[in-house]
């Protein structure tokens, strides 16, 4: 028996399309912008590590 494709399947497809568009947008960014994003992610990860009781890691000092 064939299952009808409902809105949840369409929603999943849209999520993957959006993910692909986001990856393309990020790939087009200049190198400096990518480094800024990386440093922000490092700051977030450091905060999460500290909240979990692990040692903090210092983010890069990229300016």
Write down the pLDDT at residue 2. Answer: 55
Write down the pLDDT at residue 56. Answer: 80
**Cα–Cα distance between 46 and 38 in angstroms, integer?**
12
Write down the pLDDT at residue 15. Answer: 95
End-to-end CA gap in the chain:
60
- pLDDT band per the 50, 70, 90 thresholds, residue 5: low
pLDDT surpasses 80 at 6: no
**CA–CA distances in Å: residue 39 to residues 13, 18, 56, 61:** 31, 24, 14, 8
**Cα–Cα distance between 60 and 27 in angstroms, integer?**
21
> What pLDDT, in 10s, does the model give residues 13-38?
999 999 999 999 999 999 999 999 99
pLDDT surpasses 70 at 1: no
């Amino acid at each position: 028996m064939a299952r009808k494709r409902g809105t949840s399947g369409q929603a999943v497809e849209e999520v993957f399309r959006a993910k692909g568009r986001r990856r393309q947008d990020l790939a087009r960014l200049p190198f400096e912008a990518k480094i800024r994003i990386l440093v922000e992610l490092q700051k977030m990860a450091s905060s999460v590590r500290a909240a979990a009781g692990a040692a903090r890691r210092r983010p890069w000092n990229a300016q």
